[in-house]
Amino acid sequence: MDKLFYLFLAYSIIWVLIFGYSLRLGKRQAKLQKELELLKEVINSKSS
């Protein structure tokens, strides 16, 4: 296999892992954000 292929492989894996983790964090945050807003709505509607 051409040496440059290894270079490409390494950098793509780095990219995949970092980007993937970033995406995962983003999804977690979005899900929690939704849940948080839902809860706040419920609490607000209860108290009013």
Partner 1 sequence: MTENTRPSLIEKVLAWSTFLAVFVALYLALVYVPTEKTMGDVQRIFYFHVASAWVGMMAFFVVFVASITYLLTRRTNWDIYAHTSAEIGVVFTTIVLITGPIWAKPIWNTWWTWDPRLTTTLILWFLYLAYAKIRSAIGEEEKKARLAAVFGILAFVVVPIDFLAIRWWRTMHPGALVTSNGIALAPDMMLAFFASLFAFTLLYCYFMMRSVRIERMKAEIRWLKEGMFN
Q: Residues interacting with partner 1, by CB under 8 A?
A: 1, 3-4, 6-7, 9-11, 13-14, 17-18, 21-22, 25, 28-29, 32-33, 35-36, 39-40, 42-43, 46
- Closest approach of Cβ 34 to partner 1, in Å? 11
In order, the DSSP letters of the chain are --HHHHHHHHHHHHHHHHHHHHHHHHHHHHHHHHHHHHHHHHHHHHH-
- Closest approach of Cβ 20 to partner 1, in Å? 9
Question: Quick one: 10 or 48, whose CB is closer to partner 1?
Answer: 10
The structure tokens 């892992």 sit at: 17
User: How many residues are listed for the chain in this entry?
Assistant: 48
